[in-house]
């Protein structure tokens, strides 16, 4: 009986110690505004599958409970795959298309997987500052730097598994971060 009470005590301590806090609650754009995307989120939760238009430089950062995913041009979004999406941040002039055939839908899912694999390769680097620099470089190769500069630190942090403060440091100091701080 003593050990049973002890276990209950530990469980309640853990649940109190780790509150349901999320970076998403503090997601704001660098200019202080709320990010766009609530109507996009409604579309994603509708159960329909969409494809990010592959003829435009656009994409979506999809915020899940503990991480974020990037769906770039040609990628499938919505359906059962993104029913757990809590927020969506459009990048560029977002255009979502409805797949016209099963083959088009399958191709879009394969492209989504390729985007996930790209981010996975970046996150395999054990040095947080280097992960941030790599994701910033990737986004700046594809999107104009002024658009990338508008994206909040927490978006990149959740994409590559670092703290938002690390993203802020890398953005301010650039590649000097890795030479100053050896993680």
Taking the chain, what is the end-to-end CA distance rounded to the nearest angstrom? 45
State which H helix or E strand residue 6 sits in: helix 2-17
The 8-class DSSP code of residue 98 comes to -
Of all residues in the chain, what percent carry a pLDDT higher than 90?
73
Integer Rg of the chain from CA: 19
31 vs 76, higher pLDDT:
76
* This prediction's pTM: 0.76
Mean pLDDT, range 16-24, rounded to an integer = 39
pLDDT at position 174 is 79
**pLDDT per residue as tens digits for the range 26-46:** 455 555 554 555 789 999 999
pLDDT at position 62 is 97
Rounded CA separation 139/135 (Å): 6
Query: Has residue 21 got a pLDDT over 80?
Result: no
Rounded CA separation 66/98 (Å): 28
Task: Indicate the pLDDT class of residue 114, thresholds 50, 70 and 90.
Answer: very high
pLDDT at position 38 is 72
Residues 43/96, Cβ–Cβ less than 8 Å: yes
pLDDT at position 171 is 96
State which H helix or E strand residue 87 sits in: strand 87-91
Of 5-9, 58-62, 68-72, 83-87, the range with the lowest mean pLDDT is 5-9
Query: Has residue 165 got a pLDDT over 90?
Result: yes
Mean pLDDT, range 104-113, rounded to an integer = 98
Residues 135/164, Cβ–Cβ less than 8 Å: no
């Amino acid at each position: 009986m003593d050990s049973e009470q002890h276990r209950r005590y530990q469980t309640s301590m853990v649940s109190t110690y780790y509150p349901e806090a999320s970076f998403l609650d503090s997601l704001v754009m660098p200019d202080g505004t709320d990010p766009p995307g609530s109507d996009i989120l409604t579309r994603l939760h509708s159960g329909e599958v969409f494809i990010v238009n592959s003829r435009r430089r656009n994409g979506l950062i999809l915020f899940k409970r503990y991480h974020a995913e990037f769906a770039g041009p040609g990628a499938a979004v919505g359906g059962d795959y993104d029913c757990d999406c809590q927020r969506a941040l459009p990048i560029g002039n977002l255009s979502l298309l409805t797949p016209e055939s099963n083959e088009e839908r399958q191709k879009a899912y394969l492209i989504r997987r390729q985007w996930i694999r790209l981010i996975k390769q970046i996150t395999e680097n054990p040095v947080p500052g280097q992960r941030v620099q790599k994701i910033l470089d990737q986004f700046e190769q594809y999107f104009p730097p002024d658009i990338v500069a508008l994206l909040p630190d927490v978006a990149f942090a959740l994409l590559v598994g670092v703290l938002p403060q690390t993203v802020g440091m890398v953005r301010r100091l650039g590649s000097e971060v890795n030479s100053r701080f050896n993680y």
